[in-house]
Amino acid sequence: MQDNHSYSAPALTLRGLHFQTPDRGQDKLVRCIRGRIYDVAVDVRRGSPTYGQWVGTELSAENGNQLFVPIGFAHGFLTLEPDCEVTYKCSDTYAPQNDGGIRWDSVGIDWPMPGDTTPELSDKDKVQPTLAEFDSPFAYDGRPLAPLS
């Protein structure tokens, strides 16, 4: 339905954790076409046995890997070097009224950056609610979070 293209100039730019709420939820297929990123999906489906758990992997132009992020999962990434470009195919178009997110540092993600580092964040990402404050509109669909192999 929609292709997105993101460019981040500085290393250690963090984008996320984002999603679109029902009835405009988006599946995403994410790929890094320039540079390297650490890409993350967090289960935010109410009632899921893996609620709040996350998976993450390095995506790069060199390794060619992709990450599929289903509806009901928050998505984010950290750039690991300067000048990163990320593309993602989405199953629905952008709907500003359904735009949502949770704070990048409220889930316990082991972001690969020095411990005293604060990543570059957008104004939007600085004010997202924590996972504990989040009232999820997503229902568990019976599919548990699967580890990456």
Task: Flag whether 138 is in a domain.
Answer: no
* Structural domain total, the chain: 1
Task: Flag whether 136 is in a domain.
Answer: no
Task: Flag whether 137 is in a domain.
Answer: no
Active site amino acids: 18, 88
Which tens digit of pLDDT belongs to each residue from 17-40?
A: 999 999 999 999 999 999 999 999
Which tens digit of pLDDT belongs to each residue from 45-60?
A: 999 999 999 999 999 9
Task: Flag whether 38 is in a domain.
Answer: yes
Give the CB-side neighbour count of residue 146, counting CA atoms within 13 A. Answer: 8
Looking at residue 149, what is its pLDDT?
63
Tokens of 36: 């390297």
Task: Flag whether 141 is in a domain.
Answer: no
Of 41 and 143, the one with more pLDDT: 41
Task: Flag whether 142 is in a domain.
Answer: no
Which tens digit of pLDDT belongs to each residue from 89-118?
A: 999 999 999 999 999 999 999 999 988 899
CATH code for the domain of 102: 2.60.120.10
Looking at residue 122, what is its pLDDT?
95
Which tens digit of pLDDT belongs to each residue from 112-147?
A: 998 889 999 999 999 999 999 999 999 998 887 777
Report the DSSP pairing between strands 54-60 and 73-79: unpaired
Task: Flag whether 108 is in a domain.
Answer: yes
Task: Flag whether 93 is in a domain.
Answer: yes
Residue ranges making up the domain that contains 90: 2-126
Is residue 94 within 8 Å of 86, Cβ to Cβ? no
